[in-house]
Chain A
């Protein structure tokens, strides 16, 4: 590892003792010797295995559920349905006042996506649980589904979630998040060129090698120990407490090394129902996603549709940007209203644009609920923005890297959401990238600085 010291040379102090040094990871001796303990590296005798019966339909009304055959299956200890869950309706971010509660731990009356949890079967072995789950009979009335965001927002579209009329998340600013800065329409009219492009992305699964899961042990002191690979311990603790209507001190959540998360383990999908099962049976419970569940059921990165309309001058300045962004939450909110909001703040990119107009929508469809994944809300935005930057540079016949130097924000520049830029380092990063990639730019760009404006 090499620490470049020629950048910011006159403002840096070089008393760094850690940055630029290669340090071994503290956990790596355990990883290479096989001694690192993951949640499932515990064998607890007497454990019940939880198998979830899931919706085979994108959208359906539940007419009835018949458990009689499943309950008689050898090895079955207990079967849970919606009525067993003390507070069945929840949403993860209610903890930070991002409501309404809009999702059911176990489906109640309706299923809204293919794979939604309906009935939890608990049995002595994984095999018995799977066999009994296959005997649960759910009578569905299949409803029209909407799988496309633009279709979902049209009048008369099927309502995905009755708690979100119109199939959009209702922010305090209305049906979308908005940024208004300068006069984008005027800027577009005055620009030498205007380029409008639409970018679309599909959901992306994190696919961690360790699947989502937990083990729950009912303790002698009326508490429950939950060994979990959650990435969000306090979301899990507090949501489990709400769902189970159980004070937090009764829940002993034990985390540890997570076998890959990437944001895919911040939802609270296994712990509450497993703790409930342990409570109702008095036995340890294991609920671990199969590989198929991890790929099909765990929430992916949201699909997005992004339309960018930029006005650019022949000299390379972007003078206006208009953005409409749609984030596909799937059937329930989880972290998507927050992701769509992050997008709104992010769309100018690391560029100083005097006229900006942004609307972002969080849309509900009958698809797998989406949630967090590495930089959610901004990663796909960056894909669209940077492809657009290359296209704009081509449009005016300019080198794409030089085009970015012209527009890069620097200290003191006002961002579209009215935060002055501080501590910018984009110019210097691009200078180093130019050298490393052997992609030369004009000397004037190599002399620029993020914190010193030239005369």
Chain B
């Protein structure tokens, strides 16, 4: 299978790799670039577990061809914490019991981050809309909604 060279930024770091033509960004991030935080739950764009940001926009990495990402700035949930300090969303997910098996969590947090970047003070309906593409089979969603609203409130307190 022909290999395609790509260069991109992953979580703030310049990376270069030869990838299979037709390989998804999800597969390349996980298998080639060594960040296994995005998960493959369906590989058909229905579960949201593979959600990442590409140039600041929320995307399903299982539906993006890696070879189209040359020069892109890609972030996963791994970019949110540094030196062991968690992002307010990560803390809120912990404190609100918003993660059980954890498989949907990286994608769910990326969807939530994308929301708070756009709307720092979301309504409950905004939150529900923002995570409508992310399937969670453990929590029943309510603790996740509460976690995102809690993180938004904490952010606005910090900003005030």
> What's the nearest-Cβ distance from chain A to residue B111, in Å?
14
- Residues of B contacting A31 in the complex (Cβ-Cβ under 8 angstroms): 93, 99, 101-102, 105
Contact of B109 with A32 in the complex, beta carbons under 8 Å: yes
> What's the nearest-Cβ distance from chain B to residue A301, in Å?
14
A262 to B94, alpha carbons, bound, how many Å? 22
- Residues of B contacting A208 in the complex (Cβ-Cβ under 8 angstroms): 101, 103, 137
8 contacts across the A-B interface (CB closer than 8 A)? A24-B95, A32-B89, A32-B91, A34-B35, A34-B37, A206-B137, A260-B103, A291-B46
Contact of B102 with A28 in the complex, beta carbons under 8 Å: yes
Q: Is A417 an interface residue (CB 8 A)?
A: no
- Residues of B contacting A34 in the complex (Cβ-Cβ under 8 angstroms): 35-38, 76-78, 105-106
- Residues of B contacting A32 in the complex (Cβ-Cβ under 8 angstroms): 77, 86, 89-91, 93-94, 99, 102, 105, 109
Contact of B137 with A33 in the complex, beta carbons under 8 Å: no
A257 to B103, alpha carbons, bound, how many Å? 9
Contact of B93 with A210 in the complex, beta carbons under 8 Å: no
Q: Is A5 an interface residue (CB 8 A)?
A: no
| Closest B residue, CB atoms, query A292 | B44
| Closest A residue, CB atoms, query B42 | A291
Q: Is A418 an interface residue (CB 8 A)?
A: no
Contact of A291 with B37 in the complex, beta carbons under 8 Å: no
A211 to B78, alpha carbons, bound, how many Å? 23
Contact of A25 with B97 in the complex, beta carbons under 8 Å: yes
Interface of B is mostly: loop
- Residues of A contacting B104 in the complex (Cβ-Cβ under 8 angstroms): 209
> What's the nearest-Cβ distance from chain B to residue A432, in Å?
21
A74 to B106, alpha carbons, bound, how many Å? 37
- Residues of B contacting A33 in the complex (Cβ-Cβ under 8 angstroms): 37, 77-78, 80-81, 86, 90
| Closest B residue, CB atoms, query A41 | B36
Interface of A is mostly: loop
Q: Is B39 an interface residue (CB 8 A)?
A: yes
- Name which of A36, A37, A38, A207 has the most chain B CB atoms within 10 A of its CB: A36
> What's the nearest-Cβ distance from chain A to residue B87, in Å?
8
> What's the nearest-Cβ distance from chain A to residue B60, in Å?
13
Q: Is A290 an interface residue (CB 8 A)?
A: yes
A257 to B35, alpha carbons, bound, how many Å? 17
Q: Is B31 an interface residue (CB 8 A)?
A: yes
Contact of A38 with B103 in the complex, beta carbons under 8 Å: yes
- Interface positions of A from 24 to 54, Cβ below 8 Å from B: 24-25, 27-38, 40-41, 43
Of B95, B102, B109, the residue contacting A30 (CB under 8 A) is B102
- Name which of B46, B100, B101, B136 has the most chain A CB atoms within 10 A of its CB: B101
- A-B interface, 5 closest residue pairs, ranked by CB to CB distance from nearest: A34-B37, A31-B102, A259-B103, A41-B36, A32-B90
Contact of A209 with B86 in the complex, beta carbons under 8 Å: no
Query: How many residue pairs, one in A and one in B, have C-beta atoms under 8 Å apart?
Result: 100
- Residues of A contacting B91 in the complex (Cβ-Cβ under 8 angstroms): 32
Given contacts A32-B86, A37-B36, A40-B40, is CB(A209)–CB(B49) below 8 Å? Answer: yes
| Closest B residue, CB atoms, query A37 | B36
A291 to B105, alpha carbons, bound, how many Å? 18
A137 to B140, alpha carbons, bound, how many Å? 44
Contact of B137 with A257 in the complex, beta carbons under 8 Å: no
Given contacts A32-B90, A33-B86, is CB(A43)–CB(B136) below 8 Å? Answer: no
Q: Is A125 an interface residue (CB 8 A)?
A: yes
A30 to B99, alpha carbons, bound, how many Å? 10
> What's the nearest-Cβ distance from chain A to residue B131, in Å?
13
A24 to B103, alpha carbons, bound, how many Å? 17
Q: Is A149 an interface residue (CB 8 A)?
A: no
A90 to B68, alpha carbons, bound, how many Å? 48
Contact of B136 with A41 in the complex, beta carbons under 8 Å: no
Contact of A209 with B39 in the complex, beta carbons under 8 Å: yes
> What's the nearest-Cβ distance from chain B to residue A46, in Å?
13
Of B31, B43, B97, B137, the residue contacting A207 (CB under 8 A) is B137
Contact of A35 with B99 in the complex, beta carbons under 8 Å: no
> What's the nearest-Cβ distance from chain B to residue A351, in Å?
29
A138 to B97, alpha carbons, bound, how many Å? 49
A89 to B92, alpha carbons, bound, how many Å? 50
Q: Is A258 an interface residue (CB 8 A)?
A: yes
A34 to B109, alpha carbons, bound, how many Å? 10
Given contacts A32-B105, A209-B47, is CB(A260)–CB(B138) below 8 Å? Answer: yes
Given contacts A36-B102, A37-B36, A291-B42, is CB(A28)–CB(B94) below 8 Å? Answer: yes
> What's the nearest-Cβ distance from chain B to residue A431, in Å?
26
- Residues of A contacting B34 in the complex (Cβ-Cβ under 8 angstroms): 43
> What's the nearest-Cβ distance from chain B to residue A265, in Å?
11
- Residues of B contacting A43 in the complex (Cβ-Cβ under 8 angstroms): 30-31, 34
A207 to B136, alpha carbons, bound, how many Å? 10
- Residues of A contacting B95 in the complex (Cβ-Cβ under 8 angstroms): 24
Q: Is B135 an interface residue (CB 8 A)?
A: yes
- Interface positions of B from 25 to 56, Cβ below 8 Å from A: 30-31, 34-44, 46-47, 49
Q: Is B159 an interface residue (CB 8 A)?
A: no
Q: Is B157 an interface residue (CB 8 A)?
A: no
Contact of A29 with B36 in the complex, beta carbons under 8 Å: no
Given contacts A208-B137, A291-B42, is CB(A125)–CB(B101) below 8 Å? Answer: no
A262 to B139, alpha carbons, bound, how many Å? 12
> What's the nearest-Cβ distance from chain B to residue A274, in Å?
18
- Name which of B80, B103, B138 has the most chain A CB atoms within 10 A of its CB: B103
Contact of B99 with A28 in the complex, beta carbons under 8 Å: yes
Q: Is B1 an interface residue (CB 8 A)?
A: yes
